[in-house]
Amino acid sequence: MMMNHLFWLLPLVFPHLSSPVILLERNDGNLFHNWNHLMEGDKIVLHRSKRDWMWRQFFLSEEYTGSNYQYVGKLRSDKDIGDGTARYVLSGEGAGTVFRIDEKSGDLHATQRLDREEKASYTLQAQAFNKITGLPLEPATEFIVKIHDINDNEPKFTRAVYSASVPEMSDVGTFVIEVNATDADDATYGNSAKLVYSILQGQPYFSVDPDTGIVRIALSSMDREVRKEYQVVIQAKDMAGQMGGLSGTTTVNVTLTDVNDSPPRFAYSSYHLSTYESAEIGSTVGRIKANDGDEGENAEMKYRIVEGDGKEFLDIITDEISQEGVIVVKKKLDYESKRVYTVKVEVTNTHQDPNFFHLGPFSDTAIIKVTAKDVDERPIFSRPQYVFEVNEDTPKGTTIGTITAWDPDATDYPIQYAVDHHTDPERLYHIDPKNGSITILKSLDREVSKWHNISVLASEMNNPHQRSRVPVLIKVLDVNDNAPEFAMIYETFVCENVKAGQLIQTISAIDTDEPLVGHKFVFSLNSMNPNFTIFDNEDNTARILTRRSGFNRREMSVYYLPVVISDSDYPIQSSTSTLTIRVCSCDATGNMRSCSVDALLLSAGLSTGALVAILLCILILLMIVVMFSALKKQRRKEPLIISKEDVRDNVVSYNDEGGGEEDTQAFDIGTLRHPEVIESNKLRRDIIPEMLFPYHRPSPMKECADVRDFIISRLQDNDTDPFAPPYDSLATYAYEGNGSIAESLSSLESSVTEGDHEYDYLSNWGPQFKKLADMYIGKDTGVAN
């Protein structure tokens, strides 16, 4: 029963190990249970189970540096009786390359230098064969060769360079960064991979935890404004940091980030600036800047004026980009009243950290003195504008007001005044150039213009270019100088069958004057009228009533009623307006049906005289038209020769365009080719020559060879032209000829009298010039007789 718990112990001695290795072999899976029984002292008889192989595992050191193959161990089979018939064969990982076995003795050697970091173990199979029969002596058995680690790898950090940042002024022990290093050696064996961290560079500012590699602040009050960048060198060493261990290093670049621990400070306690007194409001006087060692929002500052006699005139604005304080003009400076303006400026941080209030105060002050520089200023008026009132009946030459101006400079030069004539084109006003009094040059009329806007110029005597302008508004006050009149033109009619006391018209009045209490008109008749009467409604209107009944338009078609209209202002103004009343025929309800012609014409606004004038104008226009027509007809019958005294060349013009190919009565070009056949041409009767000045033409030569040759030559050129159009066309040429016996044709060289001219040659020109020949030849004959 105890056989199930049997196992055997076989001590094997390997030459490369300092102690024997005990291999345990068991027959069941309860090895530790059996071992416990052994430890409890159980009296168990151990029987060695017969096994073919006496090994299971070998150990081999890495990085062997010897010249011979490294001995691993010896393999031996129980079937090997030592007669040399057994042959050992090795297979598996590295068999034949990394490991080699002696076939006879079973000795196992490593042929290469092994690296545990590349491969930590090799699994091999060994088997014994009979050399003679080639049969295996026993089944193959698997074993493992493990590579024993040595310290041949230095620690390596995950990064060659680390970057970290930490706020300045941090407390001791503040975390900065954690660095990590690894060692490729076996961490389970010895201290080859046991790392220890230390600082080679960066003390006393930083420290590192030797086990974790965490870097921390080691010195308090580290100020970024003093030093911003730090370089820390960290070392990792294996073998637990002992001598002989391998090490690696890395660099940590530590940057101190800014905190608001530096208050702003002015470089100087006072600043001196200057500007001209003419500087515009809002213009820059100068810039100042406080120094702050911080950066970013911790360096943002704000400036303000806290006190000073120039606080009313100066202001300071913070430039958010440059963090400067910009001094600007708040109110116009005056050199004559104050030369130096002083203010006290305060600067503070906009983002303050309560943790650093003990380093404050985070503000500073400085005195700013601004000196105003003198400029030649323009004259200044006592008011920005002047308003004067004047009655419209004020006499010419009356003074209506005075303008006052002075030189604001310390020199105080005299001022001269003038009216800008562009604003007073009618020249109504004048200003005294010395004292500035304004007088009236012309009478004013409020009904034409109620207000007059002029500009007065003031300039220095010694420098007229320094000139100022001020508006002067003159209000013309009303005076009751206009009488009231009808508000409109009334068209009033009365029916023939009207009854007494009947209303025929309601009238009202207007007045261009404007009294302070409003208009009040009184209506009346200038005399007793038997036909009509007036009733004042006392509301600036009046009613016209009939005094009797029954009107006859045949007896009187129009009545004129004078109405007196008076105002109630002082002095009282009145006028008489005439109301025209037409008599018309009306129906029973009082609606007008018809009026006389004269009345209708009057209603249209035309008098008899106007109608007569219109008729006369129409008659004159008709006479002018008739006169022009007669002159035109007479002009057509004028003779061809207008005057015997006309010594100009006379030309007869024919407005003839020709009749085309079918026109057999037109001129024949053959006449030009053969002048001798001129007389045989037919008489042309289809054209009547218009008036024109007859002209002098010399008798043609019998022989015109040059003209004939010129025309024939051009005719042949056109007939033989392959590009000529396939239809009749006109070709025009200019030819002056070889000379003319007529010499000059100018009338300036002609004889003074007409008797010097001979016109017999006109009879030789053919029928076309027969009429011309009859006129001139017949005239000469008559003169001779």
**SS3 of the chain: helix, strand, coil, percent, to 5:** 15, 35, 50
Q: What share of the chain in percent tops pLDDT 70?
A: 78
Q: What single string gives the DSSP state of each residue in 669-682?
A: THHHH-GGGSTTSP
241-290 per-position pLDDT tens digit: 888 788 999 999 999 998 888 899 999 999 999 999 889 999 999 999 99
Confirm if 406 and 458 have CB atoms less than 8 A apart: no
Between 55 and 53, residue with greater pLDDT: 55
Cα-only R_g, the chain: 70
Mean pLDDT, to the nearest integer, of 456-475?
92
Which pLDDT band, with edges at 50, 70 and 90, does 739 fall under? low
- Identify the DSSP state of 347: E
Place of tokens 């192989």: 53
- Residue 71: band (very low, low, confident or very high) from pLDDT cuts 50, 70, 90: confident
pLDDT tens, position by position, 664-713: 554 555 555 555 544 444 444 444 454 444 444 454 444 567 778 888 88
Contact residues for 766 (Cβ-Cβ < 8 A; gap 6+): 671, 678, 679, 681
| Confidence at residue 254, expressed as pLDDT on a 0 to 100 scale | 95
d(CA 350, CA 357): 14
In whole angstroms, give the CA distance from residue 351 to residue 354: 10
For residues 288 and 784, the model is more confident at 288
CA angle 118, 124, 127 (to 5 degrees): 160
Residue 71 tokens, joined:
């001995």
Q: 10 Å Cβ neighbour count for 253?
A: 14
Q: Can you tell me the mean pLDDT for 525-539?
A: 90
Tokens of 78: 């129980």
**200 has a pLDDT exceeding 70:** yes
Average pLDDT score, the chain: 79
- Best mean pLDDT range from 317-326, 406-415, 725-734: 317-326
Percent over 90 (pLDDT), the chain:
35
Query: Greater confidence, 756 or 693?
Result: 756
pLDDT score for 445: 87
Structure tokens at 102: 């002696």
Residue 402's pLDDT is 94
Identify the bridge partners of residue 328 per DSSP, sorted by sequence position: 284, 315
Question: Which of 237, 170, 182, 171 is CA-nearest to residue 210?
Answer: 237
Which of the pair, 6 or 111, is modelled with greater confidence?
111
- Side-by-side strand order, sheet with 467-477: 386-391, 467-477, 451-460, 415-419
Residue of higher predicted confidence among 667 and 588: 588
pTM of the model: 0.42
**CA distance to 496, 577, 580, 594, 653, per residue, from 532 (Å):** 14, 15, 12, 21, 81
Q: In terms of DSSP bridges, do strands 161-167 and 121-130 run parallel, antiparallel, or are they unpaired?
A: unpaired
Question: Within its chain, how far is the Cα of 389 from the centroid?
Answer: 51
pLDDT at 771: 79
Cis peptide bond N-terminal to 571, omega within 30: yes
For the cut 70, the answer to whether the pLDDT of residue 639 exceeds it is no
Quickly state the pLDDT bin for 618 (edges 50, 70, 90).
very high
For 289, residues 6+ apart whose C-beta sits below 8 A from its C-beta are 322, 323, 324, 325
By CB atoms closer than 10 A (0-12, 13-18, 19+), residue 58 is buried
Residue 603 banded pLDDT, cuts 50, 70, 90: very low
* Better pLDDT: 767 or 448: 448
3-state secondary structure at position 192: coil
Listed in sequence order, the residues at least 6 apart from 537 whose beta carbon sits closer than 8 Å to its beta carbon are 543
Q: Is the dihedral of CA 764, 770, 772, 775 positive or negative?
A: positive
Sign of the CA dihedral with 99 first, then 103, 105, and 106 last: positive
Instruction: Write down the pLDDT at residue 13.
Output: 35
In this predicted structure, what is the pLDDT of residue 675?
A: 52
The answer to whether 258 and 295 are in contact (CB under 8 A) is: yes
Distance CA(52)–CA(33), nearest Å, equals: 25
CA dihedral 744, 749, 752, 755 (to 10 degrees): -20
At 27, the pLDDT band (50, 70, 90 cuts) reads: very low
